[in-house]
Amino acid sequence: MGRRAGAPEVNAGSMADIAFLLLIFFLVTTTIETDAGLDRMLPPIEPPETDVIIKQKNIFQVSINKNGQLLADEELTDLKDLRAKAIAFLENNGDGTCGYCSGKKNPESSDNPDKAIISLKNDRETKYSTYITVQNELVGAYNDLRNRESMRLYNRKFVELEADYLNPETDKDLKEELKEKVKKIQELFPQKLSEAETSSSSSN
């Protein structure tokens, strides 16, 4: 009587419930982390052997005090104006050797983008958030200039080129091509952002 249809089929109706349970567990525990931030290089600890003499006019000095006030090139500056000021300094083109700059050629400001250095100094009691904002604006100044040149030469923004170049999913041939372009743009506006030691640690 019972052995008419062979083994009975297992009811798979509850499979969906089990899978849902697991799904909900992973949904809840997942945090798709998107770690991103400002990339910086610290200066090596050994001082360079030959002291390079840098003209004062080629240095754009930015200092942040403990109240978050900003001194850019010896003027009290609002944070919102910092980017424009940095851009004006970087592409000032004082000696006229930079063909792609549209600066004012002010003899009192930087000679050319290759020589222009931005120096950042902060107090030990400066808030980290202020510091990041200043860093962001300075990196932004470089990125704005690089984007402009990149648009002119390759009709694409520099930040996009670089993001593609750094993306591990980009294929090899394209990467080589991008590497060239990224390098070219970086040479046009080399990022020379130096960080002095904090003021109260009193060395040099």
Partner 1 sequence: MSKFAKKKDGELPAVSTASLPDIVFMLLFFFMTVTVMKDSSLKVENTLPNASEIKKLEKKDRVIYIYVGKPTPEFVSKFGAEPKIQLNDKFAGPSEVGDYILMERAKKSQDLQNVLTTALKVDKNANMGLISDIKQELRKVNALKVNYTTYDGDAFNNLQ
Binding mask 90-119 for partner 1 (x = CB under 8 A): ------------------------------
CA 96/CA 104 separation, integer angstroms:
10
Q: Which of 135, 161, 182, 192 binds partner 1 (CB under 8 A)?
A: 135
Short-list 185, 122, 123, CA closest to 153: 185
Q: Which of 96, 163, 187, 194 binds partner 1 (CB under 8 A)?
A: 163
CA dihedral (78, 193, 109, 151) in degrees, to 10, reads: -90
Q: Which of 30, 50, 56, 204 binds partner 1 (CB under 8 A)?
A: 30
Residue 166 interacting with partner 1 (CB under 8 A): yes
Residue 174 interacting with partner 1 (CB under 8 A): no
Residue 9 interacting with partner 1 (CB under 8 A): no
Q: Provide, rounded to whole angstroms, the least separation between the CB of residue 105 and partner 1.
A: 27
**Please, are residues 109 and 94 in contact by the beta-carbon 8 Å criterion?**
yes
Q: Provide, rounded to whole angstroms, the least separation between the CB of residue 148 and partner 1.
A: 15
CA 114/CA 57 separation, integer angstroms:
13
Place of tokens 């990467």: 175
Q: Looking only at residues 37 through 96 of this chain, which bind partner 1 when binding is defined by CB under 8 A?
A: 37-45, 68, 79-80
**Please, are residues 38 and 136 in contact by the beta-carbon 8 Å criterion?**
yes
DSSP conformation class of 119: E
Place of tokens 């019972």: 2
**Please, are residues 55 and 110 in contact by the beta-carbon 8 Å criterion?**
no
Q: Provide, rounded to whole angstroms, the least separation between the CB of residue 41 and partner 1.
A: 5
Q: Provide, rounded to whole angstroms, the least separation between the CB of residue 165 and partner 1.
A: 11
Q: Which of 71, 88, 117, 139 binds partner 1 (CB under 8 A)?
A: 139
With the C-alpha atoms ordered 128, 131, 132, 133, is the resulting torsion angle positive or negative?
positive
First and final CA of the chain: distance in angstroms? 99
Contact residues: partner 1, CB under 8 A:
12-13, 15-16, 19-20, 22-23, 26-27, 29-45, 68, 79-80, 122-133, 135-137, 139-140, 143, 159, 162-163, 166-168, 195, 197-198, 200-201
